[in-house]
Structure formats: C-alpha cells, structure tokens
Amino acid sequence: MRETALHMAFSAGSNGAHLGGGLSLIEIMATLYGGVLHIDPKNPEWDDRDRFILSKGHGVLAYYPALVEAGFFPSEDLKKFEVNGNYLPGHPIMNMKKGIECSSGSLGMGLSFGVGVALTGKMRNKSYHTYVVLGDGECDEGTVWEAAMSASHFHLNNLIAIVDQNQLQYDGVCSEIMDMGDFKAKWESFGWDATEIDGHDIRALLHAFRCCLQTPVLKPHVIIARTVKGKGVSFMENKKEWHHGSLTQKQYESAIAEIRGVQ
Amino acid sequence: MAPLTPLNARIYSKLGQRGSFSLAIEEVAAQDEELVVMTADLTTLTGLTRFKEKYPGKFLNIGIAEQNMICLAAGMAKEGKNVFVTTYANFLAMRAYEQIRIQLGYMQFPVRVIGTGSGLAMGMSGNTHYGIEDIALMRAVPGLMVVSPADGAETTKVIHEAAHYPGPVYVRLSGVMNTPIVYTEEYPFAFGKAVRLREGDDVAVIATGTMVHESIRAAELLKEKGISASVLNMHTIKPLDTAAIRNACTRSNLIVTVEEHSIIGGLGSAVAECISETAGSPRLLRIGIPDAFQKVGDYRYLLEQNGLSAPQIAEKISITFGPGFRS
C-alpha cells in the first residue's frame, strides 16, 4: 500500500499529494480494511456493514489503496487519482458504490457525522460499528470536541475514533502550533475510553480494535495511534514540508527503493 | 393536515410562524416513524416543549452546538432518518454555514433546516439575534432549497411538504406571534411556484415572508392613489420562479421586491439577477433592510425604522412610480 501511495503521488505530478499524512496512516487503514471492518465490497450498501468515515480527508493516499485491497474498485482506477473530472480527487467524495461513505476535506466534521450514524445504529438496535479516522492537527477544531461531548452523552460504545497522531500539522509541530497538553486525558475527560498505541504496529492495532469491540463499557472509544508523518521514506519522515508535495523522478525512485528495502 | 379555514387561519396567526411549525411537526410525527427533530438548546423557544413530551423518542437536544447538530443530522439522514433541525435562523445560517454547505449541499442529505426568529423578529435581543443575511447565505449553497412562508398557515404547508422533499431545505420563519393573516382558505402550494395574490397592471410587487401581507396592504393604499399593483408571494427564493417574474415583466411598468432581509443578496438580488437577463425588462425597485446593523427596538419599531410598514412601502412605490414614470 505504501508503494501504491507513492506511485499515486508521483502520478499526480505537479498537482502534488498529501504524502506525509497519507504515509502515516498506512498501517491503520490496512488493519481496518484487512482485519477489522465488516464490509462486503460486492454489496457496498449492505445494511449491517460497519461504517468507515475518513474525517482527515487528506489521508486519501492510504484510503484509496485500502479500498482497492478490500475489493471496492480495481487498482487500475487509481490511475484516476487527481485526474480532471474523475472520482478520486485529493479529498474523498461520497460514493457508496465504491465504499466511500462520506465526503470530507474540510476538517472537524467527520466525527460529528459519525455520531449521527452511530446514534441511528443505536436507535435501530443495529449491530454495526462506526469508525472515524481523525488527524491530531484536526483536533484543533472545536467541532471535534462538540462531537466528542455528544458521543459520550449518547453512550455511543458503537463508535470508534482513531487519531493518527503524527504530531505534525501544516505549519509545523502540533504542540508548538497549538498545544493539546495531555491528549489522552482530554478524551477521557470528555467521557471516552482512550488507548494509546504505536500506530505502525499492526498487532497492537488489531489488539486495540479487539478491545474496543469486546469491552463492556458504555463509552465511545478512541485509539490514539502514535505515528510518524511520512513513515517509511527517510527524507520525508517528520518533515512538515512533505505534508503536501510532489515527487521528482529521482525522489520517487529513491523512496520506492527504500520501501522495498524495508520490506 | 386540517384544511385551511378562516378559523384555523386565526389560530395559526395567533401562534405565529414558529408556533405553526410546532403544530405541523407534531402532525408529521404522528405519521412518520423515521422523523427526528433536533434543537440546539432552544426547545421552548422553538416551540417544541409539547413535541418533546409527546414524542420523546423522536426528539434530540444537541446542546448549544449548532455545527455539531448539522453534521449529526446529516449522519442520521444518511441512515434513513427524516431529520428536522431547529434553532434561531442566525445561528443556523451563520454559525453552521460550512456544515450546511458540505453536509447538506455537497452530499445532498435531505435535512430540513428550520431557522426561527429570522428577520427582525428577535426585537429587543438585538443584532446578534437578527437574521438579516440568511437568505443571501443559504441561497449561495449549491443544491439547497430556500423557502420563506408568508404566514402561519403557509408555514404548516411548507413543513408538511418539506417532510417529503428529496433534498435539503432551509426554511426561514419570521415575524412574531399574532402574525397577520394572508391565507384564510385552501390554495395550491408547491415549492418553486409563486402564488399570485392580487391582480394589477402598473406595478408588480414580488414579496416574501412577512412582507407579503405588508405588500397586499400597500397595494390597497396604492389603489387609492390610482396605482394598480399586483402582488406575488415568492415563498420559494431558491429555486426561483423565473417564469412568474418574466410574466410580471411583460405585464407591468415597475417591478418591486419587498423583504424583511438585507438589501444585499436576498429576494431583491435574486429577482435582479433574473430580470437583468430579461430583454426589455422594466425598472426594479428593491425594498428591504439597508446594509447596516440596527438600532435595537421591538419588532414594529424595527419594521418602521427600515421602511417596511405597508404605508412606507406604498410611499416608496408611489414616489418611484410617480406621475413622470407613467408618462
């Protein structure tokens, strides 16, 4: 998936792509679509499917490849990434046939939307879970906390938020731009069951998701996944300049070589 | 829904548009299993106390968090709920603007946004609570319908129709209790179709919301001065009934718009956009709230300060039309 993401970014040419926050999200999306979500790509609107919402809409470099791996559309379609008039732009557009549940791109809305989806599931005694992926920079938005408040108010234990905590936002280090203090304590104080894990460790991710599904507590769950922005490509890792950028041929080849070497 | 009679028209009038909404939404709730009504801590002030008691399973209070309310409503609409959200118009149209744009306009979830106390109805609460820009903002959102009923009776029709409308709707409720009556008997109501309330040849008055009644009275005053004015109730501002406007252009020498909204971006602007592209169209006089914050006062005071009472409307039309105009 990481290689696919780099290929997509390279193919986008001078339009560029959100590389940093896409690469930090790879293991989270691979775990969700590979081993957690109850979905059926042959029946994308199956009533009892788990719902997934990418609130950090700029994470498409991890999202679209995950949808391909899960079988929602062929890898061939990734050639449509950031191509004029096509359905895979730089921020997702709701497209139920392709497994995309929600349009996003403007930050701070996905969790509220997920609260509405999860609350309806509760009202209807449905078994589905609602998963929402947020960025840590995104949590600067006040609406994230309005949503957090309402999720615990309505006892939405069928709602699981995952924060891709790559510690960098557009302008720099998150704690320097807007210090969140004790991030886990903040979620807990809003009535959430919070867990911190290594967001690149698939076993840890699987375990965390399993715990969310098995715990009897009547609280919404948040998995704070510590990640590295630009993960896997040394010249991008922890560099704010790669939040959004375009790759030269040389950079692309070097990044691919590094990814293959790592694997 | 009870047929409109002079008696229940009086009840709707007494309740005002807000109270008429609360009556109508109870009727919708009785028939619609999927209905959900949300408020942002304004249960009483949006007339929903009785609804909350009668239909607790269909009622949600989201707290003072309008942005969260819109996204939550969209999420519920996605799952098949028929969601009405209510609070003061200014908080919906402004505080939650981007949420309305993305969650309702962009994704087309059929949420019904009911803005109460719009225009100058909030009187002594002051400018923070006035809804004088909501039409301008809401009609700029692609794919969002914008409706402003003329009286309590029309409010009930709008609510019933909105409950079945396939897309998102912004409903602007204005005026206060004991609101003037426009309709006393049944009439055909359809979104996007203006209602001709009065015939006249010299001037075509196109009004919306509370100004429909003031315009009818103004037309009566103009008649005494020998000016014949038609009145059109443009309850749907988007999509605009351009056929009715073009028809008015061919029949009249002056087009007048009247609205309890800023002169910028509202009904007057929408009509101007239409007639400026119509060859040989007559002159347009836009009557509305000047581009300024208000000196605070009660509702009637504010209408008079802004020249929105029937005699003031008639006066403006009369001056513009004048003897010179006719020749």
Of the candidates B243, B238, B283, the one whose C-alpha atom is nearest the C-alpha of residue B265 is B238
Query: In chain B, what residues touch A120 (CB-CB under 8 Å)?
Result: 75-76, 79-81
CATH number among 3.10.20.740, 3.40.50.920, 2.40.37.10, 3.40.50.300, domain B195-322: 3.40.50.920
Q: For residue range A70-80, list pLDDT tens digits in order.
A: 999 999 999 99
**Structure tokens, A227:** 């990640």
d(C-alpha B23, C-alpha B52), whole Å: 12
- pTM as predicted: 0.96
3-state class (DSSP) for residue A221: strand
Q: Which domain holds residue A168?
A: 2-262
Q: Cite the residue boundaries of each domain of chain B with CATH code 3.40.50.920.
A: 195-322
Residue A146 and residue A116 in contact, taking contact as beta carbons nearer than 8 Å = no
Predicted local confidence at residue B322, as pLDDT: 81
Out of B62, B75, B80, name the one closest to residue A113 (CB): B75
> Is the model's pLDDT at A251 over the cut of 80?
yes
Query: In chain B, what residues touch A146 (CB-CB under 8 Å)?
Result: 63, 65, 67-68
- Across the interface, whether the CB atoms of B75 and A94 are under 8 A apart is answered no
- Across the interface, whether the CB atoms of B74 and A113 are under 8 A apart is answered yes
d(C-alpha A244, C-alpha B258), whole Å: 49
| Of B327 and B24, more confident | B24
- Across the interface, whether the CB atoms of B81 and A149 are under 8 A apart is answered no
Q: For residue range B44-99, list pLDDT tens digits in order.
A: 888 899 999 999 999 999 999 999 999 999 999 999 999 999 999 999 999 999 99
> Is the model's pLDDT at A263 over the cut of 60?
no
3-state class (DSSP) for residue B174: strand
Q: Cite the residue boundaries of each domain of chain B with CATH code 3.40.50.970.
A: 6-174
Out of B60, B81, B107, name the one closest to residue A103 (CB): B107
DSSP symbols for B192-224: T--EEEE--SSEEEEE-TTHHHHHHHHHHHHHH
The pairing of strands A221-226 and B59-61 is unpaired
Average pLDDT, chain A: 96
CATH number attached to the domain at B6-174: 3.40.50.970
Predicted local confidence at residue B327, as pLDDT: 38
Q: For residue range B167-212, list pLDDT tens digits in order.
A: 999 999 999 999 999 999 999 999 999 999 999 999 999 999 999 9
> Is the model's pLDDT at A104 over the cut of 70?
yes
Alpha-carbon separation of residue B180 from A182, B93, B112, B202, B294 (angstroms): 57, 25, 25, 26, 23
**Structure tokens, B294:** 């208000």
ipTM of the complex, rounded to two decimals: 0.95
Domain count, chain A: 1
Q: Find the mean pLDDT for residues A106-135.
A: 98
Query: In chain B, what residues touch A124 (CB-CB under 8 Å)?
Result: 79
3-state class (DSSP) for residue B230: strand
Q: Is some CB atom of chain A closer than 8 A to the CB atom of B80?
A: yes
Q: What residues of chain A have any CB closer than 8 angstroms to a CB in chain B?
A: 94, 101-103, 106, 109, 112-121, 123-124, 143, 146-147, 149-150, 153
What CATH number corresponds to the domain at position A165? 3.40.50.970
